[in-house]
Chain A
């Protein structure tokens, strides 16, 4: 089972996006919780012990937030996250005890060191999937812990660790439990604020697209490698910050604090709270820290109960305590307003500037070949797609049609031949680059992002048309706001174009099957493509829906788009295609208008088989 389908299942288990705790209700609870955390150390009956418990809730909350970036937002199984926390703590401890660098100055240093370390160790392994990545991260966690024990160059103090770390000095020296508590929770507040902004930006959405369906994200212009790496780096940097504060509060650190068990706890925090949910990570940290504290009287049994509690949670509430609510379009727009931004330029229907007369040929495939382990999927395939027309690729099952599509969109690399888009060879490019070149696609078995809203799904198409990065998104620079509102408008226009405006805020998983096709088409349109490649768009649609689809495709072509589709439903091919290419056994066997193809003995034989024995 892949990650996206598992997430789909969680969502279907979880209350609907609109159901359960609503947005406003949550906001009230959130304010109450923030007030509680702010006032808690001042309450008369709270002693230093419980303030310290509050501090450790904070450390786990910060670590939870940091792992949530990697695991929650991007869906990367990271079971060695403690390594980055350890790097932060040890960098702080070493630089402080040896060179007396002030703790707060070491805060950014720890973050950068942990981030850099994460980049170095994850860059070679980032392509690994699921369990394999999980195992490697466990290995990284262990390597870091064991190295600290072994006291390399006498720096880490071996199993005993490092003692005598200073307190931070923020105008006044920070000494008491209460002061540490406020310092830490202030940092958590700022981090949560910035992370929420990231979640509502091009960057945060790109992370989610990868989590939901990596292939679809790739094909629609998301540079998967870049975003996965950046999630690791950012998550590690935040863990490094947690390490810095932890070291200065404890005044001593040792490898015992950075075990695999800690990494497992962090993993549980994120899942308990809800994947990708920022308040969820805080709640998860609260549960994981306070639960064993409350059960302290049963000292021997408390962790046993904790293990059982994790089980019970996963059986009865697999989506977590506070699953992330997706933002409505309204909310996204409001978030952009605040300050007056430059009125974004009106951008009506998705129209591509066309110059039909100038160049007729848009896509040209020359002598294409690809085989898988000795089985030839495509060989010597030739094909041309003219601008402003609908070209259909048909052929019996197993003829290699989808393989051709996967080569065009860069998911497979051809073994021979070239693919020319506007005369330019794109066969060696990455999928996201091909999307940027103006090719968008849909998939045979519908690959939408099930637990995102329809609007967010369509925004994915716009990803390749924007450029706002991390800092612009966290700081909400004017350029980023303008870009976001342009993207929103465009996405809404595309949804409207396929008649899904009413569903903009509902989760894609909640759409009926037929509408999911349209959502996929809207997502492709939002990429402002010149060529749109549709893999069996009519499959699963009934007759009436197919007629509707045909009308949509025709009107898109009238607006200047070029369409290339694979289809089994000859009614649809009849209705829309200007030109038909027939494939069999990896080769083109005929081409022309559908009427001629129907009479062509080679085509009939390809479909019905030959008569002679």
Chain B
């Protein structure tokens, strides 16, 4: 553990980056999607403009949906705490089983509170929309938890070839799980809502919608940084290297996720059980096969 002022400064800088970068990375994602469509697309700062605009608008909440508004604020608090915690752990070299489990608990808490937002709304369409999110989370959380657990176990076998192979398989599985958990195509959440005319955020407006959008973007950043934190950070000796790996790695992975989602079509949520189940089962069998070899 590097308990130096340098680590503390790096933790603060990384936390600030994790608060400021996600909307800009979303701007990059929108630019990439526009480039694939042969369009100019919005400016890189467009998502920041959207958030600031929503923040200055009126907040209209229907009667009986006060609890949904509260869950949004709790979700934003958890998202900010999660990004700050991940930054601190990475800067101070806290990459053992305990810190990773703590981060995963916060990720699952964030997912649960976003599911609760739709269920707590007085609008039945918001409840219907939250079913899609609940189903995808139930299917994908198993793969996410399993991949992180396998990556932690794989570290014990390093530096043998078996350890690196096991870590590679579990990291690949984690990439798929993080991609699906980020709510992008083919199992998107927010983008699907305008077409389905239902979704967890259908009744949110103004600052509450800004809070929901911002916490979702921070969640995406955490999910893009998670594979680097779990699989790469333990092998980097200095705080500088770990922080740099997290910032550059998460930005690169966000871009890769953006290209992947822009080239994929939307899939039915019920098909996620079959396709994701097949990927996670095959990966686990491969991991066990290498372990037994």
Please say whether chains A and B are actual partners in one complex. no
Task: Give the interface of B toward A (CB within 8 A).
Answer: none
